[in-house]
């Protein structure tokens, strides 16, 4: 992300944040209407109450805690902390998202907060979205634009899953669909499978290679070959 687009000074950045927040609040209102239209109005107030009374305090505590955990586990140092908005995402996704233009995690009201393990689920979301935040900081440092291609988006989600699952989680085997009938599992599981062995060699160098050399479609069909090239490059072979 190129922060120069915000213009000079803090005022410009602040105005962008205000404008984005206003837009997202409008989307939040639309999401509430959508909930009503789906016949769940009877649960709406309960969800909102839980969100305000429990979710917001938990997220406020969890973000710095999880950042410290990730810094220790991955041996990294976050350059700064992300912002957080407790409003619906502009995509309508109720599981949370990261908004790179304003360096902010967005945590929307969701029925998931009524589940017994909602704190664990929320922490998992935060771990993943912090992976996007770290990815954004690294791309900014490398002078790279936001991800646009399929390969770049798979790297983005793979990095998010790497920050959520860690170095050695499943899947250890994976095959890209030969008919290109791509599912969300291909983006998340496939992304994790693709980036994990590369980032395990060296997180910084591996991410730099992935970001500057995103996989083409033929690389996705032969991930092992792409991984070998990446690891050889990192190791100087």
Domain end (from 126, 142, 158): 142
Q: Are residues 130 and 175 in the same domain?
A: no
Q: d(Cα 149, Cα 40) in Å, to the nearest integer? A: 37
Q: Are residues 186 and 83 in the same domain?
A: no
Q: Are residues 98 and 159 in the same domain?
A: no
pLDDT classification of 169: cutoffs 50, 70, 90: confident
Domain end (from 107, 142, 177): 142
Bridge-based pairing state of the strands 104-106 and 83-85: parallel
Domain of 79, in residue numbers: 1-142
Q: In the chain, what percentage of residues exceed pLDDT 70?
A: 73
pLDDT at 116 over 70: yes
Per the confidence metrics, is the pTM higher than 0.85?
no
Q: Are residues 11 and 105 in the same domain?
A: yes
Q: Are residues 117 and 13 in the same domain?
A: yes
Domain end (from 142, 168, 202): 142
Q: d(Cα 187, Cα 169) in Å, to the nearest integer? A: 16
pLDDT at 82 over 60: yes
Per-residue pLDDT at 35: 46
- Give tens-digit pLDDT for 173-232: 888 887 778 998 899 999 999 999 999 999 999 999 999 999 999 999 999 999 999 999
Per-residue pLDDT at 179: 79
- The overall average pLDDT reported for the chain is 82
Rounded to whole angstroms, what are the CA distances from 92 to 26, 27, 110? 12, 8, 11
Q: d(Cα 188, Cα 229) in Å, to the nearest integer? A: 22
- Give tens-digit pLDDT for 128-144: 999 999 999 999 999 99
For the record, the structure tokens of 189 come out as: 């599981």
Helix (H, G, I), strand (E, B) or coil at 100: helix
**What does the longest C-alpha to C-alpha distance in the chain come to?**
62
Q: Are residues 61 and 111 in the same domain?
A: yes
Q: Are residues 9 and 120 in the same domain?
A: yes
pLDDT classification of 39: cutoffs 50, 70, 90: very low
Least confident of 30-34, 120-124, 160-164, 228-232: 30-34
Total of domains in the chain: 2
CA count, 13 A, side-chain hemisphere, 119? 7
Report the sign of the C-alpha dihedral through residues 202, 158, 147, 218, in that order: positive
Per-residue pLDDT at 3: 40
- Give tens-digit pLDDT for 7-25: 444 444 444 455 555 555 5
Question: What radius of gyration do the chain's Cα atoms show?
Answer: 19
Q: Are residues 162 and 103 in the same domain?
A: no
Q: Are residues 119 and 76 in the same domain?
A: yes
pLDDT at 31 over 70: no
Q: Are residues 70 and 179 in the same domain?
A: no
Q: Are residues 91 and 47 in the same domain?
A: yes
Q: Are residues 92 and 3 in the same domain?
A: yes
């Amino acid at each position: 992300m190129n922060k120069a687009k915000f213009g000079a000074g803090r005022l410009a950045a602040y105005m962008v944040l205000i404008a984005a927040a206003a837009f997202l609040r409008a989307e939040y209102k639309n999401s509430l209407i959508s909930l009503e239209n789906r016949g769940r109005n009877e649960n709406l107030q309960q969800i909102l109450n839980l969100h305000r009374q429990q979710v917001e305090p938990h997220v406020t505590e969890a973000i710095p805690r999880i950042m410290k955990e990730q810094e220790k586990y991955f041996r990294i140092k976050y350059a700064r902390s992300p912002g957080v908005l407790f409003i619906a995402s502009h995509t309508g996704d109720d599981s949370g998202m990261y908004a790179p233009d304003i360096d902010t995690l967005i945590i929307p009201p969701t029925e998931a907060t009524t589940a017994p393990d909602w704190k664990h689920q929320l922490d998992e979301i935060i771990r993943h979205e912090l992976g996007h935040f770290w990815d954004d900081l690294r791309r900014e440092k490398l002078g790279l634009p936001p991800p646009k291609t399929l390969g770049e988006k798979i790297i983005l989600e793979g990095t998010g899953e790497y920050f959520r699952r860690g170095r050695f989680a499943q899947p250890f085997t994976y095959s890209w669909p030969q008919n290109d009938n791509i599912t969300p599992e291909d983006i998340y599981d496939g992304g994790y499978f693709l980036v994990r062995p590369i980032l395990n060699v060296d997180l910084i160098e591996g991410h730099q290679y992935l970001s500057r050399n995103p996989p083409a479609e033929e690389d996705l069909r032969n991930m092992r070959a792409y991984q070998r090239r990446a690891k050889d490059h990192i190791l100087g072979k």
